[in-house]
Amino acid sequence: MSGNNRFDSMTAVFDGQDRMVRRLDNAGNRTAWAYDGVGNVLEVQGPDGYRISFAYDLANQPYAAFDEQGRMVMTSRDVLGRPLTVTDPAGATTEYDYHGDAQDGRLARIRVPAIPGQGNGRAVEFDYDAGGLPTQTRRISAGGAARSSLSFTDALGRLVRALSEPDDQGQRLQTCYRFDGLSNLTEVWAGPTTDITRAECNFAETTLKLQQSSTWDDFGNELSRSDALGRTWQYRYDYHGHLESSQTPEQAQAGTRTTYGYDASLRGLLKSRTVPGSGAAGQRVTWTRNALGQVTRAETKDGSGAAVVTYDYAFDVAHRLESVTDSRTGRTIVYGWEPGGRLSSIALGREGSSTQASPLWRFQYDGTGRLTGISAPNGQTVAMSLDATGRLTEKVWPDGARSSYAW
């Protein structure tokens, strides 16, 4: 609020145990929660009426989730509560294994379901150091072949050397990182290698090349960045840490900078950006915002002050984008939304007005809110069928042609 003006609101209702049971947004759209006797969420109902339900074991850990059409995701757990299997609505199961006490029970392996024609599913395995940081990741194919990538960290846990999976000749991409005393990344080096044992990079190697370097101030603001060709970008900041000016390599040769302005009344949100130069060589963009910080106008002028383009934005009572108007044509695109926030239509407004002239596109959703149809301005519709997990199985075109998909 500002004075007597209210810009946003949310109303919540709590039960006798201080649990939120209903919430209304600024537009009056309602979300509701239901709980069991110990406070577990049993059901969430969104503004569009879609429901998600949950079931819990005796340890109050969720083992099943249901959508409105009864499709279910099942999770089995070990005695420590860690997931062992997750089965999707189509019956495909992802399995999880864990290390023993030597690696503190961390995740050791993820195996995905086998695809048709293969006896086993692919898997990913993980190893860790004594501090719990990953040191090796192995990707295992359905046939059992493995390819590994390696990571090496310093005493502060920062990644200093990373090795990709090997190519057919055994070469790996080696990426090396350097940091300053405040752990800001200062240099990135890269090059091929076959050495998989060294914990630190040998920067004397001729194959290792500097890719990027940066300098920082004491507050973590990047002051400069140089690429592999030696080109440098520079940055300056104001007292509040906002980017005040930037300079590209080309601007450095001309002795100019791009400057930025901020709106102190809107918590320092970006208000303007000015690129020096006359005519088309320069540019000034200014943003006008509402009390919530949403952009209501974006105006671009060239270096001589001549208008290039202006976009005007309007928002509905739920703060969703309602329309966009382009100054070059005077035409407006109008957006329609379902209460829960799903896009329902895109229309072209009347010239010079945000009033909807005629629907351009309409979008249909199934009982759980998944996109199932798109209708064009001429009434023709592209229809989509989905399987239990939400994957596209069939697309029907307006002329009756069908495209089928197998997973």
Label each residue of the chain as H, E or C. Answer: CECCECCCCCEEEECCCCCEEEEECCCCCEEEEEECCCCCEEEEECCCCCEEEEEECCCCCEEEEECCCCCEEEEEECCCCCEEEEECCCCCEEEEEECCHHHCCCEEEEECCCCCCCCCCCEEEEEECCCCCEEEEEEECCCCCEEEEEEEECCCCCEEEEECCCCCCCCEEEEEEEECCCCCEEEEEEEEECCCCCCCCCCCCCCCEEEEEEEECCCCCEEEEEECCCCEEEEEECCCCCEEEEECHHHHHHCCCEEEEEEHHHCCEEEEEEECCCHHHCEEEEEEECCCCCEEEEEEEECCCCEEEEEEEEECCCCCEEEEEECCCCCEEEEEECCCCCEEEEEEECCCCCCEEEEEEEEEECCCCCEEEEECCCCCEEEEEECCCCCEEEEECCCCCEEECCC
Q: What is the pLDDT of residue 2?
A: 59
> What's residue 351's pLDDT?
60
| Alpha carbons within 13 A on the beta-carbon side of 73 | 14
How far CA 36 is from CA of 14, 63, 107, 302, in Å, comes to: 14, 15, 31, 61
> 311: which 2 tokens?
């976009």
Instruction: Please state the pTM of the whole predicted model.
Output: 0.85
Q: Residue 349 has what pLDDT?
A: 79
Q: What is the pLDDT of residues 349-405, one digit of tens each?
A: 766 555 556 678 999 999 888 999 999 988 899 999 999 889 999 999 999 999 999
Residues in the chain with pLDDT values less than 70 = 1-6, 350-358
Model pLDDT for residues 147-160, shown as the tens digit of each residue: 999 999 999 999 99
- Residue 315 in contact with residue 290, Cβ under 8 Å? yes
pLDDT recorded at residue 350: 64
- Classify residue 348 by burial, with Cβ atoms within 10 Å: 0-12, 13-18, 19+: middle
Q: Where are the domains of the chain?
A: 10-91, 96-144, 316-407
